[in-house]
Amino acid sequence: MDSPLPRPDHMLGNPYAPRLVAAGETFDVVEVDDVLGACVLERLRRQGVVVGPVLHDRRYRRMGFFVPVSPKGATWRDRRGPRHHGKGAWITFPPLVSDGRDFLVWRVPPRDCGAPTPLRLVREAITTASAALNASPDRRPGGR
């Protein structure tokens, strides 16, 4: 009797399905709240940095910046600040095909950028963007 559950080989062929990918092998992800993430992305671009892939989880209001694998394999979690997802963490990639209404989307798709953004640059941008947001009464990117 056939199982009512989809077989994994069928799910891999579904371009509308999200993908679960292991971090710590070819990339790590630094995750921040989406308001801070938008500021970080804006600052990196203003500095002329070629930004690597960036995920945006619109449901949970988080953004993830892809960075090179940490040589220490470090993973940290802070409920109030950045989270570094490395070896042992799993990252959900958006579907290959999307109508743009999904909760999980690429802010910077991998095909548009190539290599991950250097961790040092992401950390510096987080620090400066966080300070700017904390000093701003509006606390939104672009002063909108």
Number of H helices, E strands in the chain: 3, 7
Least confident of 30-44, 48-62, 100-114, 116-130: 100-114
pLDDT category of residue 98 using cuts at 50, 70 and 90: confident
Q: Is the CB of residue 143 less than 8 Å from the CB of residue 136?
A: yes
Domain count within the chain: 1
pLDDT category of residue 17 using cuts at 50, 70 and 90: confident
Q: Which DSSP state fits 66? A: E
Least confident of 26-30, 61-65, 94-98, 117-121: 94-98
Residue 4 falls inside a structural domain: no
Please give the model's pTM, rounded to 2 decimal places.
0.81
pLDDT at 100 over 80: no
Residues 6+ apart with CB under 8 A from 127: none
Residue 144 has a pLDDT of 44
Between the CA of residue 131 and those of 39, 40, 56, what are the distances in Å? 11, 11, 22
Helix (H, G, I), strand (E, B) or coil at 10: helix
Neighbours of 102 (CB within 10 A): 15
Q: Is the CB of residue 107 less than 8 Å from the CB of residue 56?
A: yes
Residue 112 falls inside a structural domain: yes
Residue 83 falls inside a structural domain: yes
Residue 144 falls inside a structural domain: no
Average pLDDT, the chain: 82
Residue 126 falls inside a structural domain: yes
User: What is the extent of the structural domain holding 24?
Assistant: 12-137
Residue 33 has a pLDDT of 94
